[in-house]
Amino acid sequence: MFKSSLLIIASLLLTTTLQAQAYTITGKVYDGVKPIVGATILVLDTKNGTTTNKNGEFTIENATNGTYTLKITYVGFLKKETAITIKDANQNLGSIFLQNDFLQLEQTIVTATRSEILRKDAPILCNLLDDKIFKATQSVTLSEGLSFQPALRIETNCQNCGFNGLRMNGLESAYSQILIDGRPIYNSLQGVYGLEQIPANMVERVEVVRSGGSALYGSSAVAGTVNVITKEPIKNSSYFTTNQAFIDGKVPDKTYMLGADVVNDNQTAGISVNGFSRNRNHWDANGDGYSEMGNLKATSIGLKSFYKPSSLSKLTISGYNIYEYRRGGNNFEKPLHEADIAESTTHNILNGGLTFEQYTSNQKNKFSIYVNGQNLKRDSYYGGGKDINAYGNSEDNSLVTGLQYTGQLGVFAGGNHTLVSGVEYNHNNLQDNAPSYNRFINQTANQTGFYLQDVWEIEEKFNVLLGARVDNHNLIGKPIVSPRANILYKITNDLQFRVGYAKGFRAPQVFDEDLHITQVGGQGAVIRNIGNLTPEYSNAYSSSIDYNKYFDDVSIGMSLDGFYTQLNNVFILEELGTSLSGDLLLERRNGTGANVVGVTLNPKIQYKKLLSFQLGYTLQKSTYDVPVQWSATVANDSKRFFRTPDNYGFYVMTLTANKNISVNFSGVYTGGMVAQHFAGFITDDKLEKTPSFLENNFKINYDFKIKNDVNLVLNTGVQNYTNAYQKDFDLGASRDAAYVYGPSRPRTLFLGMSVKF
């Protein structure tokens, strides 16, 4: 009994002593002006950690005596590590300042290596498009924002319906792989209008990897990969945004965005919901009664939700629904078949995905399994001359599923190794019916890819990536091996050099431009594949040198990269003549080859919070080995790619006068090019040399608090205020609607408002 009492007393004393040795660490994180909400605070080499509250404050409990390192991180800011010593007292660290990561060096990216890595450590150059650029340029859709990325160019390909495409490194859109949250669900039918269908408020950021990426992402990643990362909830918030634009000062283009994020207190579950609505009237540039920009009505809703069953696992559910109606031509008050020219589509897109991630207990190995599906239905009318039979319909079903392993294998062979391996299956079935053009497509594409990659870090100076992917594609019939090798050499802490090689391919399947019927001279222009079309192969070489430096008040970044892509069995379009129904027929065939070579300059500078500036400029040459004979009446002796300028670029500059007022200047430069001009309005086919354009934009913001938790932003400005715009559009029903180049919109006034809660 006496011994038991002693044990109880000793136990109580020990418990009291342990409780007396438990202390708290407190502090506040801010950006120099306002608190940072949702910053992550970790005590390294322990399991202690937390996040900052709505006032930027944090508290870590149950800390014991000792010396520790505190790591503070938040997206868009440089990480900070602070040494602290606890000795029989609570620790109040006061205010902790985080510096804005303007150069985006410590942004975590996934597209370059298919695993999480800091941008500065990636052996492949990766550019980021974030919310700041969307806002500074008043971009309401993905397509508008992509114009402000190095070596990217958005081009409009049709006056009637506004079909646009993305060119990377001078290669047309079919050479680029578009990913949604890392999944290649963006199919050929969605590729016709899809870049304009994705609203900016659904996007967290866009990761752009140029040059070949087929070693990781399969077919069509020849020019590069654009990975659209949708919004994931971080903190409780909501917003409402509107943009009221007036094209040419008179035609309304109204956009509304709203959304909300909800996250529980311990950050184990959350959901982000974002809605979008747009209504744009048609615009006629030259008074001939035919639109240069068509009617557009769109609504969408996107969501992303996560749940963490444990600290080592995460389940993510995402999806969106998009509705869009567009119409171009003339006689908009009449039914489609009573117009002289009408191009119209109605899209309904339903997308959903599920991803589960599981770490091992030492957090050095991660397993991911995912599935994503999409159903797209489209009703269309591509017709002229009041054709009652020009209605069509399409359905596209896609499924992507895969399993991936990412593991830190430890140190051997002179360096640390991170392995990425996986298998991915992609199924797509497209049915497209256009009776008036005698076109019915029922194509199924099945692709299974196995990939393996090792990132080898040697003494913090070299990062070497070696990888390959093997694809089995039912439309090719034999496995295709796509290797990739990249090296990052850190010359100094601020100076980096990268070099890389990748092999890629394009399968001979239906591409996005095939599924749009352009009106040429009042008739349809239809693309068909030749019967013995074979795959197109590429060899892509890239190199870059980057200098990035943070000073006390100034941040400076400079990137110079070069690219060279060699294409074999290149796909080309040549004119066949006309069909029995009088439509212009273009046939896709294999040519001999082509070469694309160029350099891109991308300087960035930020001075305090007063000034930020970045510019992208690309100089390139894109040529076929043999001139493409695109017309039956025009002999072509030029080897140049069509609709591909030799130089193009952008700039974005923000001046912050004070905490309430900021001014944004931005612009897009498009150099001269050669463009096909088919007969109709003009007497004979002609290869035109187009002028260059510099599109300039201006925006001013006024940001103020209504009360502590409510921010109101008012803005106004002018897009393309110099009205740099094409002057030689064709006229009337016999025009060539594909003869369109340069900026996508004329001078446009806008007023905007955003409320954040």
* pLDDT tens-digit readout, 623-637: 999 998 888 889 999
Sign of CA dihedral 703, 704, 706, 711: positive
Residue 402 has pLDDT above 80, yes or no: yes
Give the model's pLDDT for residue 215.
62
pLDDT value for 68: 87
**63: closest CA among 11, 27, 101, 100?**
27
- Cα gap 292→159, rounded to integer Å: 5
Taking residues 337-365, what's their average pLDDT? 94
CA-based nearest residue to 378, from 655, 193, 111: 193
The answer to whether residue 151 scores a pLDDT higher than 50 is yes
Looking at 4.10.140.10, 1.10.10.60, 3.40.50.10310, 2.60.40.10, the CATH number of the domain 21-97 comes to 2.60.40.10
Compare 581 and 181 and report the one with higher pLDDT: 181
Q: Rounded to the nearest 5°, which phi and psi values hold at 103?
A: -80, -5
Question: Quick count: other Cβ atoms within 10 Å of Cβ 108?
Answer: 10
What are the tens digits of pLDDT across the range 466-519?
999 999 988 888 898 999 999 999 999 999 999 999 998 888 877 777 778 777
Classify 18 as helix, strand or coil.
helix
Instruction: Name 394's Cβ contacts closer than 8 Å, sequence gap at least 6.
Output: 189, 376, 377, 378, 380, 430, 431, 432, 433, 515
Specify the pLDDT at position 16: 46
pLDDT at 213 over 70: no
Burial of 76 (0-12, 13-18, 19+ CB in 10 A): middle
Strands 647-656 and 251-263: unpaired
pLDDT at 1 over 80: no
71 closest CA partner among 61, 62, 84: 84
Parse the chain into domains and list their residue ranges: 21-97, 108-756
Task: Say if CB 228 and CB 114 are below 8 A apart.
Answer: no
C-alpha–C-alpha distance, residues 165 and 680, integer Å = 24
How far is CA 103 from each of CA 583, 614, 681, 755, rounded to the nearest angstrom? 51, 10, 49, 28
Rounded CA-CA distance 724/720 in Å is 7
The values of phi and psi at residue 5, to 5°, are -65, -40
Shared fold status for 21-97 and 108-756: no
Continuous H helices in 307-443:
none
Q: Which residues pair with 548 in a beta bridge?
A: 557
Give CA–CA dist 306/319, Å, rounded. 12
Tokens representing 596 are 């694309």
When mean pLDDT is compared across 372-381, 494-503, 527-536, 735-744, the lowest value belongs to 527-536
Confidence band for 266, pLDDT divided at 50, 70 and 90: confident
Provide the H-helix boundaries in 421-497. Answer: none
- pLDDT band for position 100 (50/70/90)? confident
Query: Which residues on adjacent β-strands are paired with residue 259?
Result: 239, 274
For the chain, give the longest Cα–Cα distance: 115
- pLDDT (0 to 100) of residue 533: 84
pLDDT at 3: 52
Share of the chain above pLDDT 90, in %: 58
Residue whose pair of structure tokens reads 């040399």 in the numeric block: 689
Closest CA to 567 of 542, 599, 597: 597
**Is 17 a residue whose pLDDT tops 60?**
no
User: What is the per-residue pLDDT for 11?
Assistant: 54
Q: What is the DSSP letter of 175?
A: G
E runs forming strands in 221-312: 224-230, 237-247, 251-263, 269-280, 295-310
Residue 4: band (very low, low, confident or very high) from pLDDT cuts 50, 70, 90: low
Q: What is the mean pLDDT of residues 130-153?
A: 94
Question: Other C-beta atoms within 10 Å of 448: how many?
Answer: 17
Residue 365 has pLDDT above 60, yes or no: yes
What pLDDT sits at residue 2?
Answer: 47
Quickly state the pLDDT bin for 651 (edges 50, 70, 90): very high
More confidently predicted of 22 and 720: 720
Question: What is the Cα–Cα distance from 659 to 672, expressed in whole angstroms?
Answer: 41
The pLDDT of residue 459: 83
For residue 36, pLDDT over 80 is answered with: yes
Asked whether 60 and 82 are in contact (CB, 8 A), the reply is no
Model pLDDT, residue 460: 82
Q: Are 647 and 672 in contact (CB under 8 A)?
A: no
Tell me what pLDDT residue 588 has.
86
Examine the pLDDT at 165 and tell me if it is beyond 90.
no
Q: CB under 8 Å, gap of 24 or more: what pairs does 143-147 form? A: 143/195, 143/196, 143/198, 144/200, 145/200, 145/203, 145/206, 146/195, 146/206, 146/226, 147/650, 147/668
Q: DSSP string covering 100-161, please? A: B-TT-TT-EESTTTSS-EEGGG-SS--EEEEHHHHHHTT--BHHHHHTTSTTEEEEE--TTT
Quote the pTM value.
0.90
Count of other CB atoms within 10 angstroms of residue 517:
27
Burial of 643 (0-12, 13-18, 19+ CB in 10 A): buried
How big is the CA angle at 636 (ends 635 and 640), to the nearest 5 degrees?
Answer: 175
Which tens digit of pLDDT belongs to each residue from 416-450? 999 999 999 999 999 988 888 888 889 899 999 99
Helix ranges restricted to H, 252-303: none
pLDDT band at 81 (very low <50, low <70, confident <90, very high): confident
Q: How far apart are the C-alpha atoms of 198 and 202, rounded to whole Å?
A: 7
What's the pLDDT score for residue 436? 82
Two tokens at 627? 């001139």
Average pLDDT for the chain: 89
- Per-residue pLDDT at 581 exceeds 80: no
Alpha-carbon separation of residue 352 from 370, 377, 469 (angstroms): 11, 15, 26
Q: Which helix (H) or strand (E) holds 488?
A: strand 480-490
Structure confidence at residue 18 as a pLDDT band (50, 70, 90): very low
The dihedrals phi and psi of 608, each to the nearest 5 degrees, come to 45, -135
pLDDT at position 439:
82
Query: In the prediction, which pLDDT does 265 show?
Result: 84
Contacts of residue 538, Cβ cutoff 8 Å, sequence gap at least 6? 212, 214, 222, 503, 504, 505, 506, 565, 566, 567, 568
Q: What is the mean pLDDT of residues 374-397?
A: 92
Per-residue exposure over 17-48, b if at least 16 CB sit within 10 Å of its own CB, e if not: eeeeeebebebbbbbeeebbbbbbbbbeeeeb
Torsion angle of C-alpha atoms 503, 509, 510, 512, degrees rounded to 10: -10
Per the structure block, which two tokens stand in for 523? 């008739």
Give the right CATH number for 108-756 from 2.60.120.200, 3.40.50.150, 2.40.170.20, 1.20.1740.10: 2.40.170.20
Q: What is the pLDDT of residues 229-262, one digit of tens each?
A: 999 998 899 999 999 999 999 999 999 999 999 9
Residues forming a β-bridge with 636: none
| pLDDT for the residue 291 | 94
Over range 350-355, report the average pLDDT: 96
Percent of the chain exceeding pLDDT 70 equals: 96
In terms of Cα–Cα distance, which of 280, 276, 278, 277 is closest to 247? 280
